[in-house]
Amino acid sequence: MTLQLANVVKHYTSGSGEVVRAVDDVTLDLDAGEMVALYGPSGSGKTTLLMLAAALLRPDRGTVRFAGRSLGDLSDREASDYRLRDVGVVFQHFELMRGVPAVENAAIKLLAEPMGIGEARRRAAPWLERVGLGHRLEAAPEQLSGGERQRVAIARALANEPRLILADEPTGSLDTQRGREVLLLLREIARERSTPVLVVTHDPQAAQIADRVHTLRDGKIEECDDAAVSFADETTSGA
Ligand SMILES: Nc1ncnc2c1ncn2[C@@H]1O[C@H](COP(=O)(O)OP(=O)(O)OP(=O)(O)O)[C@@H](O)[C@H]1O
Ligand SMILES: [Mg+2]
């Protein structure tokens, strides 16, 4: 199971007609079981790249393939099936449902299966335990801290055992130790299930934990690990 982006371009046109090339000719392959960290300054196109891999956006040029299928060529129905069954996304802003217990937020994709709510909750709960929230299953997002919400979003992305994991700043609201645990959990899942894992991050620890590191600048990908390590150094020393 691999994720392959080949010469992918995605641009946005603003109301005033200005064109932003958010992703600019990106070629990137993730193998089965491989965890890749993507660094890059704000506005460099990281979230756009993840949304392309999640089939939430279609490329303007180039191809995004998962397990050999070109995501840009899927029908709307196929794309929504892909998002439901194949991909786990940790969104940058979590996107949890207010007023809904953590365990049911985490179970949301399981509820779309022919599965009762009791069974969906039973399957989601261990994922909340794995991110250290076993004691907060019934708390709604507005009763949780920012870091706890982030961990609910991570549990939700993992609970239906996706074949591809895309995580947008999954440690942004976590302290160093929790952040490390989350990154190690993602790597463990990559290995256990041969799942490609793409993590957008500013976390300097990711450079050590990921198999490979890339930096995105102005929508273009930079190859080498060194660039990312020096970026991580800048982040640490600048903090
Ligand atoms: N819906 C949109 N319409 C117009 N421009 C957009 C849209 N979404 C993003 N952009 C622009 O595309 C570029 C890339 O945005 P993107 O959200 O992918 O960046 P990012 O690397 O995730 O940034 P951050 O680290 O701040 O989350 C930015 O210049 C942004 O302003
Ligand atoms: Mg972003």
Ligand 1 neighbours, Cβ below 6 Å, are 12, 14, 20, 22, 40, 42-48, 92
In this structure, is residue 132 part of a structural domain? yes
pLDDT digits (tens, 9 = 90+) for 41-56: 999 999 999 999 999 9
| 130-154 burial code (b ≥16 CB/10 A, e <16) | bbebeebbebbbeebeebbbbbbbb
Question: What's the whole-number average pLDDT of the chain?
Answer: 93
In this structure, is residue 71 part of a structural domain? no
As for how many domains the chain has, the answer is: 1
pLDDT of amino acid 224: 57
C-alpha of residue 48 to centroid of ligand 1, in Å: 7
In this structure, is residue 40 part of a structural domain? yes
In this structure, is residue 17 part of a structural domain? no
**Interatomic CA distance for residues 26 and 28, integer angstroms:** 6
SS3 37: strand
Residue range of the domain that includes 180? 34-47+77-238
- Residues having C-beta closer than 5 Å to ion ligand 2: 47, 92
pLDDT digits (tens, 9 = 90+) for 71-125: 999 999 999 999 999 999 999 999 999 999 999 999 999 988 888 999 999 999 9
Chain centroid to CA 203 = 14
In this structure, is residue 167 part of a structural domain? yes
C-alpha of residue 47 to centroid of ligand 1, in Å: 7
In this structure, is residue 6 part of a structural domain? no
In this structure, is residue 191 part of a structural domain? yes
In which element (H, E) is residue 124 found? helix 117-130
pLDDT of amino acid 228: 45
C-alpha of residue 221 to centroid of ligand 1, in Å: 15
CATH code for the domain in which residue 157 is found:
3.40.50.300
pLDDT digits (tens, 9 = 90+) for 151-162: 999 999 999 999
What angle do helix axes 176-193 and 146-159 make, rounded to 10 degrees?
0
Residue 164 contacts residue 66 (beta carbons within 8 Å): yes
In this structure, is residue 4 part of a structural domain? no
